[in-house]
Structure 1
Amino acid sequence: MSHPPLAPFVPAEPSNAHAGDPVRWGFIGAGHIALKMARAITAVDGHRITRVGAREATRAQALADEFGGRGGSYEDVYTADDVDVVYINTTHPFHLEQALAAMSAGKAVLVEKPLTLSAEQATRLADAAEAAGVFAMEAMWLRTQPIVREVCKLVGEGEIGDLVSVNADFSVIRDPDPTSRLFDIDNGGGALLDLGVYPAHLVWPLLGRPDSVQVMGTLASTGADHVVAMQWGYETGAFAQLSCTFAGHSPGRAVISGRSGWITIEPHYAKSPEHAVIFSGGKTRTITLPSRGYQHQVEEVGRCLRAGLTQSPLVPLSDTIGVLEVMDCARSELGVRYPQE
């Protein structure tokens, strides 16, 4: 079976980590996710919001007023002297061009998931970040959650032996609606990029890149993927089963099985998880690590910037690109193609 590498070591910040200048954030986009992220940023010491850019000036100004920043256009954010990192939270098709604009102005970027529509676009973004020498990270906040990090660490240390399988789902009920972004093929709609990236990013640090991918699913009338199930196979004999759908609810429990035990991350593993149940050595125990939601990814961005890193060891761009490569393959199997590709 498969035994994964140890989870990445992330040193603790020194006690005076926030003693210097704060990390100054600019926003591209002012929707409901921006509001959640803004609340997280302002709850973390050493971080503040200075700029908000949106297509509608009134929306940008409203969010900026609430959190003490200045509203304006996208260009105002890119060129501002008081912005260290740009948080991009627009819809999927715009992520690449907006990240490139921010990085060309010397800004670090945190880009909402999915980083881009495809692996090819993600590679372009990563190459641009490397050329500019700036930090870039996908906002896959699942990977920064304390309980997820602890489970990856325990698995890497052999707590449940060599891995046999991982099972993870993420499903919600959304009636097919051609006017909804979730089903709009022109706007990056579909279950895979909205939901499926979460189980994929849970499996990736545990088992890595699959050697084979089997896909089944159904499409909405708009051509966007509506139901998707994948089985990832590994030459070791290990496998992962991942599913996502807008057709109905699912519990969101992740199950990790090994030769000598198992671990479950209790529902919902992709929504501020705090509890894991471990069966090992013939005994069952529960571990609890509190979650502060998006704040953990805010702290990770700050830690990386202060350390002079251009990538996060928790959410490296190589993992993001790898996941998108699998998503590309799955979409190809289902016949889903975005006009921007």
Structure 2
Amino acid sequence: MIRWGIIGCGRIAHRFMQGLKEVPGTELTASWSRRVETVTDFVAIYGGKACTSVDELLASDIDAVYIATLPDSHAEYSIAALHAGKHVLCEKPAAINLPALETILSVAHLKGLLFMEGMKPPFYPLYTRLKEYLITDPIGPVGYVRAGSSVADCPPGHPNYSYELAGGALMGIGIYEAFLAIDWLGATKQVQTLGRFGETGIDMFAIFQTEHEQGYAQLYSGFDLHGKGDALICGTLGHVTINKNWWNPSRATINYLDGRIITLDEPFIAGGLNYETQHFCDLVEQGAKESPIISHQMSRQMISMLDTARAQIGLKFKGE
């Protein structure tokens, strides 16, 4: 039995619990949130102990911690959990910048514990099936990726708009596009970024072009336009369209140069976070210290891309 503690009891924590119910051999043991009423309501729904402090949660009889707070506190809570001897699954982005991530990873290595960034797309059944299908019926070497999303319906006061909480389109959405480009095209060689700021001091829309070891990507993220949210992956023998929302993928179409069209449908259950959670729990059982899918190097490459993009549009968070 893997006993979980949760830090942060907002919307994503509820979605995590929806998925955890589908992962055998797990249970929620303790939860904590900065707002007392939030954690009280959370445990009323899901059970476990409502803690009054992070220290109390980390002293609980738990094996792993899911960090569901905003990016500004990811490093702080990850480091505290690792020092307390707990494995950590941390929401994306794992830290606000590469130096903060390196500190987390050094502590994880020192303590001999598993640390993984919660980047969900590669664990969905559709994404897994697509990768497997293309092994036997390839689209040739991939040289171009186009992806993005702009969500224009976040209500006023949403944490995505908060400079203090390290919000913004790049941090909230762009991290997904960074993953997709790196996963299909390899390490980033060059980034070119344009961005538009909002009243709260964060990027409301950003577009970034990237050069990789194996090709090029055109990516966008935003909060004040309504974007499509699909993804295009182009190879020499065909191209793949992952239908919206590509980061919660359930359908993809492969168009081949010879005229063939293949459609893959793989619905997901329980909100989708159950797949990455199952992967994380399997790693804990195996005694692994790192995911082979969302590796520490992948996390480094993703946040490095965002660091460069933010620098190019002039977005610095407190302490940078």
TM range (shorter): over 0.9
Q: Which runs of 4+ in 1 moved over 3 A?
A: 152-158, 174-177
Specify the alignment match of 1:218 in structure 2: 196
Q: For residues 234 and 302 of structure 1, do their structure 2 counterparts lie closer, same or farther at Cα, with a shift above 3 Å needed?
A: closer
The C-alpha deviation readout for 1:118-143, integer Å capped at 9, x for no partner, is 11111111111111100111111112
Q: For residues 324 and 103 of structure 1, do their structure 2 counterparts lie closer, same or farther at Cα, with a shift above 3 Å needed?
A: same
TM-superposed deviation, 1:298: 1.3
Specify the alignment match of 2:234 in structure 1: 257
Mapping of residues 136-175 of structure 1, within 5 Å: 136-155=115-134, 159-174=138-153
Q: Which amino acid aligns with 1:255?
A: L
Q: Which amino acid aligns with 2:254?
A: I
Query: Which structure 2 residue ranges, 5 or more long, are not aligned?
Result: none
The C-alpha deviation readout for 1:16-51, integer Å capped at 9, x for no partner, is xxxxxx211101111111111112112322111010
Q: Quick one: percent identity of the two aligned structures?
A: 29
Query: Which of 56, 60, 64 lines up with 1:80 in the alignment?
Result: 60
Q: Which amino acid aligns with 2:305?
A: V
Structure 2: distance between partners of 1:87 and 1:338: 24
Count how many residue pairs are aligned between Structure 1 and Structure 2.
Answer: 316
TM-superposed deviation, 1:185: 1.4
Question: 2:188, 2:301 within 8 Å by CA — same for their partners in 1?
Answer: no
The C-alpha deviation readout for 1:159-188, integer Å capped at 9, x for no partner, is 0011121110111105795x4422221210
Query: Which of 154, 162, 166 lines up with 1:188 in the alignment?
Result: 166
Q: Which amino acid aligns with 1:181?
A: P
Secondary structure of the corresponding residue to residue 268 of structure 1: coil
Structure 2: distance between partners of 1:245 and 1:100: 30
Structure 1: distance between partners of 2:67 and 2:135: 32
Return the TM-score normalized by structure 1: 0.88
Query: Which of 250, 253, 258 lines up with 1:274 in the alignment?
Result: 250
Q: For residues 23 and 126 of structure 1, do their structure 2 counterparts lie closer, same or farther at Cα, with a shift above 3 Å needed?
A: same
Query: Which structure 1 residue ranges, 5 or more long, are not aligned?
Result: 1-21
Q: Which amino acid aligns with 2:251?
A: H
Query: Which of 12, 26, 32 lines up with 2:5 in the alignment?
Result: 26
Q: Which amino acid aligns with 2:255?
A: F
Q: For residues 338 and 283 of structure 1, do their structure 2 counterparts lie closer, same or farther at Cα, with a shift above 3 Å needed?
A: same
Question: 2:182, 2:212 within 8 Å by CA — same for their partners in 1?
Answer: no
Return the TM-score normalized by structure 2: 0.94
Q: For residues 165 and 156 of structure 1, do their structure 2 counterparts lie closer, same or farther at Cα, with a shift above 3 Å needed?
A: farther
Q: Does 1:240 align with 2:217?
A: yes
The C-alpha deviation readout for 1:223-253, integer Å capped at 9, x for no partner, is 21111111112365x2111111112112211
Q: Which amino acid aligns with 1:39?
A: Q
Query: Which of 197, 214, 239 lines up with 2:175 in the alignment?
Result: 197
Secondary structure of the corresponding residue to residue 197 of structure 1: helix
Specify the alignment match of 2:108 in structure 1: 129
Structure 2: distance between partners of 1:54 and 1:84: 18
TM-superposed deviation, 1:201: 1.0
Mapping of residues 52-67 of structure 1, within 5 Å: 52-67=31-46
* Deviates further, 61-70 or 100-109: 61-70
TM-superposed deviation, 1:155: 4.7
TM-superposed deviation, 1:58: 3.5
Mapping of residues 276-295 of structure 1, within 5 Å: 276-280=252-256, 281-292=258-269, 293-295=272-274
TM-superposed deviation, 1:158: 6.9
Question: 1:155, 1:206 within 8 Å by CA — same for their partners in 2?
Answer: no
After superposition, the CA RMSD in angstroms is: 1.7
Q: For residues 235 and 142 of structure 1, do their structure 2 counterparts lie closer, same or farther at Cα, with a shift above 3 Å needed?
A: closer
Q: For residues 322 and 77 of structure 1, do their structure 2 counterparts lie closer, same or farther at Cα, with a shift above 3 Å needed?
A: same
Structure 1: distance between partners of 2:7 and 2:317: 22
The C-alpha deviation readout for 1:189-217, integer Å capped at 9, x for no partner, is 11000011111111211111221111112
Structure 1: distance between partners of 2:281 and 2:289: 12
Q: Which amino acid aligns with 2:250?
A: E
Structure 2: distance between partners of 1:52 and 1:221: 34
Structure 2: distance between partners of 1:175 and 1:134: 36
